[in-house]
Amino acid sequence: MPPRRRARSDVTTVGTPAIHPGGMPVAEFLADYWQRKALCIPRAWPDFTAPLSAEELAGLACEDGIDARLIIEKDAAQPWHLEHGPFEPQRFSQLPASHWTLLVQSVDHYVPAVTALRDHFHFLPRWRLDDIMISFAAPGGSVGPHCDQYDVFLLQAMGRREWRLGAPAGPDDEYVTDSGLCLLQRFEESARYLLEPGDMLYLPPGVPHHGIALEEGMTISIGFRAPAADEILAAAAEQLATEKDLPRFSDAGRSSTESAGQITSDDVDRLREILVPLCQDTTRLARILGQLTTEVRDEFGVDAQSVETFALLRECDGERRLHRHPASRLAWHQADDGTVLCFFNGCSTSLAPTLLPLVRTLCDHDVYSIAQLGACIESGGDNELAAMDFIDRLLAEQVLRLDGD
């Protein structure tokens, strides 16, 4: 499998899924399956064509800044051997004939045809989607039995792959290999599915699974971000650190203590009286959630180039288009007073209620004509200047780019 570079502008038509998802109404899927139980979706994507070849995937794995891994189940030195990229091209000619897997994260940031797959999952919030990982496996290739703590749609793009699902596992069932893989030492199979190109398997968090390639094959994993409680609390602490005049611990009227070292239940209640109101402020919580879920995990550099202002772009050519950088993340929330909070790449800004159409357009789509955005700005009335300043900031930070950049 000699690596081959892929032209970034090369877009492959992959077809459109006949249904969302797999033949049932979206409402039924969300009520009965989402975050609840697995669902196998045969022919979810009829006549599916892989959006890139194995050689092109290997080419990405050789590039700096791209998260890539090789997992070899039967290595001479140790089982379940893990290597991290970037790889030298000759590494792929040294691999065994079977039992290895190449995994490349965030392929949707680099290959337009993969980026386009995200549009078919808009029945879920865009800010919940994390990235699209693509794996290529030799016959027998696997990453071992394991659990993931996020939702994932596993779309078979090439070859056949067998998926075995297991009974619920406990923390004592997991172990870490010498090379850092977290696997299950006890796996009790409860279901088995054979996926061919165009078939898809949905897995909620915590379902043990073990995928095995029956032949050379490619699997596309559309993963959804679900921050853990410690991440949420860290984000909350960071947000609160920017606020002034927060309440302090107070114990006026306390009783004499029997033990100088004791923290009493009343003290804990006093702490709760401070924290509960902080957690009941909807706007504060929205800001915490919005900034956390739009953080960019794979940093993309800002090119050292002059950035035209949106006003100048409107004057020069209103038919040109802007597009969202494929790695950038946007979301919005409207506060009770009507203020629109727009989140982008872990940052936020507050805008007037009349600019909601502009913010929705930016957050819900990837490509925008300058004329389209101009019309949204004009509908904002007296807030046109603030809207243009906001778009100029997105251009300067390359959240938005001109077509061709």
Q: Please check whether residue 19 is in contact with residue 44, taking contact to mean a CB–CB distance below 8 angstroms.
A: yes
Residues 217, 314 within the same domain: no
What pLDDT, in 10s, does the model give residues 211-234?
999 999 999 999 998 899 999 999
Residue 370's pLDDT is what? 85
Classify residue 78: in a domain, yes or no. Answer: yes
* Type of residue at 35: Q
Residues 216, 314 within the same domain: no
Residues 210, 320 within the same domain: no
Q: What's the number of domains the chain is made of?
A: 2
Residue 252's pLDDT is what? 92
Half-sphere exposure of 368 (CA within 13 A, CB side): 29
Residues 39, 161 within the same domain: yes
Classify residue 293: in a domain, yes or no. Answer: no
Classify residue 209: in a domain, yes or no. Answer: yes
Sign of CA dihedral 218, 224, 230, 232: positive
DSSP-derived 3-state class of residue 190? strand
Q: Nearest to residue 133, comparing CAs of 196, 211, 219?
A: 219
What pLDDT, in 10s, does the model give residues 292-307?
999 998 766 555 555 6
Classify residue 196: in a domain, yes or no. Answer: yes
Residues 200, 74 within the same domain: yes
Classify residue 255: in a domain, yes or no. Answer: no
> Which residue, 224, 255, 275, sits at the end of a domain?
224
pTM, full prediction: 0.89
- Joined together, the tokens standing for residue 64 give 């700096």
Query: What's the rounded Cα separation, in Å, for the pair 183 and 178?
Result: 11
Classify residue 55: in a domain, yes or no. Answer: yes
**Tokens 């300067």, residue located:** 396
> Which residue, 224, 250, 279, sits at the end of a domain?
224
> Which residue, 199, 224, 249, sits at the end of a domain?
224
Residues 30, 171 within the same domain: yes
Q: Nearest to residue 374, comparing CAs of 307, 319, 308, 306?
A: 319
Q: How confident is the model at residue 15 (pLDDT cuts 50, 70, 90)?
A: very low
Query: What's the rounded Cα separation, in Å, for the pair 397 and 387?
Result: 16
Query: What's the rounded Cα separation, in Å, for the pair 282 and 175?
Result: 40
E-strand stretches of 151-293: 152-158, 161-166, 174-176, 182-184, 189-195, 200-203, 209-213, 217-224
Residue 4's pLDDT is what? 65
Q: What is the CATH number of the domain that holds 30?
A: 2.60.120.650
Sign of CA dihedral 21, 52, 395, 316: negative
Q: What is the CATH number of the domain that holds 397?
A: 3.40.366.30
Residues 71, 171 within the same domain: yes
State the angle between helix axes of 229-240 and 282-293 in degrees (0 to 180), rounded to the nearest 10. 120
Residue 104 is part of which domain span?
A: 26-224
Classify residue 388: in a domain, yes or no. Answer: yes
Classify residue 185: in a domain, yes or no. Answer: yes
Query: What's the rounded Cα separation, in Å, for the pair 157 and 220?
Result: 7
Residues 331, 214 within the same domain: no
Query: What's the rounded Cα separation, in Å, for the pair 84 and 86?
Result: 7
Q: Please check whether residue 74 is in contact with residue 99, taking contact to mean a CB–CB distance below 8 angstroms.
A: yes
What pLDDT, in 10s, does the model give residues 231-288?
999 999 999 999 898 999 999 999 998 899 999 999 999 999 999 999 899 999 999 9
Residue 301's pLDDT is what? 57
